[in-house]
Structure 1
Amino acid sequence: MNVIIVGASGYSGAELAKLVVAHPKLTLAGLFVSEQSLDKGKLLSDLYPQYVGVIDVPLQPLTSDAMSYIQQQADYVCLCTEHKVSVDLAPLFLDMGKKVFDLSGGFRLANNQDYQTYYGFTHENEALLNQAAYGLAEWNSDAIEKAQLVAVAGCYPTAALNALKPLVNAGLVSEQKIIINAVSGVSGAGRKANISTGFCEVSLKPYGLFNHRHSPEIERYLGHKVLFTPHLGNFPRGILETIYVDLKPGVTEQQVNDAYQCLADQPLIRLLGNKIPSINGVVNQAFVDIGWQQQGQSLIVMSAIDNLLKGAAGQALQCINISMGLSAAYTLVGAHHE
């Protein structure tokens, strides 16, 4: 399949380009950026020197000629663009008959009101929200395989949902809000220059209290209320979430352990039991590491991912694999992505 990446100069786009190039059943058919981008005309390897001799592919502006090329050449279009840009571009590629994998938040939420509240814009293609399959690979493969538009799950929600859905689905969780304390590396903020994410400015601190856009995404696909607080960490990549769950009275450790067995055969999920996951355990890997410890009705669940791999490009590739009828983890298991 021929894959086009739009927004390829960002961290997730570049990561996805690397994965596509390494995939024996995919061809990287083009990398595109906006017509206004300062990166247009450069090689991806000019921006990311680790790709010299590997991905010496030009970043082309998304002109009308580029759109014609995509219509003729592409099978899959991956959008690594800002949320509003994805909302505008996705219908154009869908009308061409392309399957679209959107790595932004443009199609993850339920309605326009959510987008006004959490993203700050009016969603011009609300009808597509019902058509988009949520790209949480381990949990929604049938819908991903059939859909023309896949809304690849967010990074924080990927860590949270894989850690919590087994418990909620097994009916083990009380009605109390689940508290999610999450920390992400600076690459999660994107590549654009911003003083708050500059090397000398970054300090561990919370942000988006009570109103972060991943809160409604987690609640929608978990079916349970959460109190989600993200933090910016002073490290490049990775996410670690510490999650506080109030269990129903009488829930045993065995019941909790049994609930997680629904993920035991998933090749990119590593169930650590009472061991504590870490950022170092998942950086440059496509895994979700999940650990948990229980004391009475209190359960602490810990979940770690690489935000650019399992939290973005790796999960997009899982969705592509599913669409092709391959194992979701094809080319991802055991691979170390420097």
Structure 2
Amino acid sequence: MKKIAIIGASGYTGAQLTELITKESEFAIYGLYVSANSADLGQSLASLYPNWPHLSQCLQGLNESSQQDIANNADAVALALDHHVSMELAAWFYQQGLAVFDLSGAYRFENKEMYSKWYGFEHQYPELLDKAVYGLTDWNSEAIQASRLVAVPGCYPTASLLALTPVAGLLTNTRPVINAVSGVTGAGRKAQLNTSFAEVSLSAYGVLNHRHQPEIATQLGHEVIFTPHLGNFKRGIIATITAELKQGVTLGDVDAAFKCYQGNPNVLVKQGVFPKLDEVVHSGRCHLGWQYDEHSHYLVISSVIDNLIKGAASQALECISIHFKSNP
């Protein structure tokens, strides 16, 4: 049984990952950790999340002693932390020989210049960037098996890439337009005025400068226009994407492209039937609906996921499972 330490366990993503791992017979939670000055220190996850009364393990403070204990006794760490904190801890645990599954953006780009431009910090471990693999499990399982440093994708990129990757070779040079709406849990657990009940509505944010835009473009190999929106609901993402396809591409070509998901229990594809968020909330699935006009050559795809599960926690668990299946 592989022992997994979760650092940043009190946030929505860390807690969700903990809950998922407790259901897996081949994994055990080694420990749940928060920063030494966290207000949640010493509390159980059950007290923070009463809908999970079985999560009775208490949150420990992360310090030099507990870090070394994790390195000596755990098989892997999952990091659900701010990007700059994950950058440091991922490097340290990787150097100790553990498998590292990072849910931040600290290792999603190979080019170190992207971090100063999009994340506002200088990456201190550029030698590790080409060792990290992108954990889009439905497309990158072989690389995940082979690497001890896995960058779990962002929630918007997961929804967008699952929709666009099958048809990437059919795109013209015109940028696909991605309009996506996320529930407020995507902003994290920390109290903020703009995500409070009285303030949240439906509005665009991060227009033309959201850090998930280059993440999508890098993995797709094609520039995109990405506009995220904050919705007045708790969880889930719906991304509606409009893309121009090359001259001569037929309805049959598009249908054949999406057949790559046949037999995949995590991705459901339907032509002409567009999914609802309710179909995927609290699940690790992605549902896709698409329609293509052969005359205008425009393809519209709608993609829905749960931002905390398929967009974060269950994809992290998939990465862990894939890695340890080939590294028992």
TM-score range, shorter-chain basis?
over 0.9
Report the alpha carbon displacement of residue 250 of structure 1 after superposing the two structures with TM: 2.0
Q: Work out the CA distance in 2 between the residues paired with 1:109 and 1:294.
A: 32
| Secondary structure class of the residue paired with 2:277 | coil
Q: Work out the CA distance in 1 between the residues paired with 2:280 and 2:175.
A: 28
Partner of 1:119: 119
TM-score, normalised with respect to structure 1: 0.94
Question: Is contact 2:103–2:316 with CA below 8 Å preserved after alignment?
Answer: yes
Q: Work out the CA distance in 1 between the residues paired with 2:186 and 2:302.
A: 19
Partner of 2:142: 142
Cα 1:68/1:110, change in 2 over 3 Å: closer
1:263 to 234, 251, 261: 261
Partner of 1:101: 101
Letter aligned with residue 92 of structure 1: W
Q: Work out the CA distance in 1 between the residues paired with 2:286 and 2:52.
A: 26
Question: Is contact 2:100–2:149 with CA below 8 Å preserved after alignment?
Answer: yes
Q: Work out the CA distance in 2 between the residues paired with 1:324 and 1:123.
A: 28
Q: Work out the CA distance in 2 between the residues paired with 1:33 and 1:167.
A: 41
Report the alpha carbon displacement of residue 265 of structure 1 after superposing the two structures with TM: 2.1
Q: Does 1:322 align with 2:322?
A: yes
Partner of 2:21: 20
Report the alpha carbon displacement of residue 120 of structure 1 after superposing the two structures with TM: 1.0
Partner of 2:273: 275
**More deviation, 6-15/192-201:** 192-201
Letter aligned with residue 22 of structure 1: K
Partner of 1:333: none
**More deviation, 111-120/129-138:** 111-120
| Secondary structure class of the residue paired with 1:5 | strand
Root mean square deviation, CA, Å: 1.0
Report the alpha carbon displacement of residue 110 of structure 1 after superposing the two structures with TM: 2.8
| Secondary structure class of the residue paired with 1:275 | coil
Structure 1 unaligned blocks of 5 or more: 327-338
Q: C-alpha deviations, 1:142-182, integer Å up to 9, x for none?
A: 110110100001110111111001101xx211110000000
Structure 2 unaligned blocks of 5 or more: none
Q: C-alpha deviations, 1:5-55, integer Å up to 9, x for none?
A: 000000000000001100010001100001121111111111101122x11
Report the alpha carbon displacement of residue 72 of structure 1 after superposing the two structures with TM: 2.2
Report the alpha carbon displacement of residue 231 of structure 1 after superposing the two structures with TM: 0.3
Partner of 2:248: 250
Q: C-alpha deviations, 1:167-201, integer Å up to 9, x for none?
A: 01xx2111100000000000001111111111111
Q: Work out the CA distance in 1 between the residues paired with 2:26 and 2:154.
A: 25
Report the alpha carbon displacement of residue 272 of structure 1 after superposing the two structures with TM: 1.8
Letter aligned with residue 229 of structure 1: T
Question: Is contact 1:109–1:216 with CA below 8 Å preserved after alignment?
Answer: no
Partner of 1:48: 49
Q: C-alpha deviations, 1:75-111, integer Å up to 9, x for none?
A: 0100000111100111111121100000011100232
Q: Work out the CA distance in 2 between the residues paired with 1:233 and 1:129.
A: 34
**More deviation, 175-184/261-270:** 261-270
Partner of 2:185: 187
Q: Work out the CA distance in 1 between the residues paired with 2:270 and 2:18.
A: 31
Partner of 2:6: 5
Report the alpha carbon displacement of residue 292 of structure 1 after superposing the two structures with TM: 0.3
Partner of 1:235: 233
Q: Work out the CA distance in 2 between the residues paired with 1:42 and 1:232.
A: 30
Report the alpha carbon displacement of residue 65 of structure 1 after superposing the two structures with TM: 2.0
Letter aligned with residue 131 of structure 1: K
Question: Is contact 2:112–2:129 with CA below 8 Å preserved after alignment?
Answer: no
| Secondary structure class of the residue paired with 1:51 | coil
Q: Work out the CA distance in 1 between the residues paired with 2:96 and 2:170.
A: 45
Q: Does 1:60 align with 2:60?
A: yes
Report the alpha carbon displacement of residue 323 of structure 1 after superposing the two structures with TM: 0.9
Q: Work out the CA distance in 2 between the residues paired with 1:268 and 1:179.
A: 24
Partner of 2:205: 207
Partner of 1:292: 290
Q: Work out the CA distance in 1 between the residues paired with 2:108 and 2:263.
A: 26
| Secondary structure class of the residue paired with 2:165 | helix
Within a 5 Å distance, the mapping from 1:124-135 to structure 2 comes to: 124-135=124-135
Q: Work out the CA distance in 2 between the residues paired with 1:152 and 1:284.
A: 19
Letter aligned with residue 196 of structure 1: N
Identity of aligned residues (%): 47
Letter aligned with residue 250 of structure 2: T
Q: Work out the CA distance in 2 between the residues paired with 1:94 and 1:110.
A: 17
Q: Work out the CA distance in 2 between the residues paired with 1:164 and 1:192.
A: 32
1:178 to 168, 176, 179: 176
Q: Work out the CA distance in 2 between the residues paired with 1:68 and 1:298.
A: 54
TM-score, normalised with respect to structure 2: 0.97
